[in-house]
Amino acid sequence: MESSVEKLGTARHGAQPRSKGAPMASIQGELGSFSHVAALQALGEEAQVYQCRTFRQAFEAVAQGDACYAVLPIENSLVGSIHENYDLLAEFGLPIVGETEVRVSLSLLARPGTRLEAIRRVHSHPVALNQCRRFLASLVEVEPVAGYDTAGSIWEVMERGSMRDAAIGSPFAARLHGASVLAEGIEDDPQNFTRFLVVARTAVAPRGAVKTSLMITLRHEPGSLLRALEPLAKHGLNVTKIESRPLRGRPWEYVFYLDVVGPGDASAAVTELDSVVAGVRVLGCYQPAQR
C-alpha cells in the first residue's frame, strides 16, 4: 500500500503532491503507524494522510479545511478508551461518519543486517513496549526506550540508530521504511484491536443498520441514568459502549458517551431521551465496523 503525504508543521519526509480525487485524512503519528493503516482501511488505499503530532492538530486540520477527514483511535481492547479524543469530539463538534477496527500485530524491526543478539535498545511508544513485556524480558541486556509514536521510533532507528537499536511497530511500517523484521507477533496478547473513528466537517446519512454515538448530560437526581437508558431499550437499541467524562465547570458531575446499534436510525429514541435528560447531542450515525 502506498499513499501520498502531507505534513502538519515541519515535514520530516517532505510534502508530496496530492492526487486528484483522493481523500485526505489527518492522523496523529508518522507514516506506517496504526493510524495510517486505519486511514487506508477506512477510506481506501488511495487515501492520502496529513501527519500531525497531536490529536488536537488532527481535529484542527479537518476544522480548518486542510483535510477532509480525521481518523483517530477511540479505544483499544487491552488498554481501554482514549479519553482525550472523547473530550475533543465534544469540543470540536465534528460529526462521526465511520469507524474501523485494526488488529494490532507488533514486530521487532531494525536496520538491514542487524542481528537479534546484538540488540541493546528497543524503541517504541510506551503502550507498545508495555504490550510486549514478555518478549522484551526474554532478550538479554535490552533497555526499552519510550518514544512518542511507534512508526516514529522506526524512522529514528532507520535514520539515526545503530546496529544495537531496534523498534517495535507494524509489518506495514517495516515495508514502508525498509526495515528488517527480526521477530513477528511479539505482543503478549494476540486479541489486541484498536477501534478508530472517522470524523468529517459534514455528517453523512448511512444506509441500512447503523451505529449512533450520543453524548448526554443527566439531571442530578436519583435514577437519572436508568431513565436515560429506558428509551434506548424501548426502541430496540443495543448499548455497545458507555463512557463517562468529567463535566467541566461542575465538579463531580459527568457527561456520558454512548454507542448504540439498532435496525434503523435512533431518531425516535433520541427524541424520547431528550425529555428525560438535561441534554443530548448526536455525535454521528455511521456503519459499524465489519469484523
Q: What does the pLDDT read at residue 291? A: 67
Assign domain 107-183 to its CATH superfamily: Periplasmic binding protein-like II (3.40.190.10)
pLDDT tens by residue, 123-152: 999 989 999 999 999 998 999 999 888 888
Judge whether residue 8 has pLDDT over 70: no
User: How far does the chain reach from its first CA to its final CA, in angstroms?
Assistant: 21
**196 part of the active site:** yes
Paired residues of 242 in beta bridges: 258
pLDDT tens by residue, 56-83: 999 999 999 999 999 999 999 988 999 9
Number of H helices, E strands in the chain: 9, 16
Cβ proximity of 161 and 176 under 8 Å: no
Which of these is catalytic: 34, 59, 196, 256?
A: 196
Cβ proximity of 68 and 23 under 8 Å: yes
The residue-averaged pLDDT of 13-24 equals 57
Say if strands 193-200 and 238-246 run parallel, antiparallel, or are unpaired.
unpaired
Say yes or no: do domains 107-183 and 210-286 share a fold: no
- Could you tell me the CA-to-CA distances from 289 to 32, 100, 160 in Å, in that order? 21, 5, 38
Which of these is catalytic: 114, 150, 194, 212?
A: 194
Cα gap 242→252, rounded to integer Å: 18
Please tell me the class of the 210-286 domain: alpha beta
* In the chain, where the domains are located: 5-103+192-200, 107-183, 210-286
* Amino acid letter, residue 238: N
Q: What sign has the CA pseudo-torsion 211, 66, 73, 19?
A: positive
Q: What three-state secondary structure class fits 231?
A: helix
Q: With cut-offs at 50, 70 and 90, classify the pLDDT of residue 209.
A: low
Assign domain 5-103+192-200 to its CATH superfamily: Periplasmic binding protein-like II (3.40.190.10)
Q: With cut-offs at 50, 70 and 90, classify the pLDDT of residue 14.
A: very low
Q: What does the pLDDT read at residue 187? A: 94
- Could you tell me the CA-to-CA distances from 110 to 156, 165, 169, 170, 183 in Å, in that order? 10, 7, 10, 12, 10
Cα gap 15→127, rounded to integer Å: 29
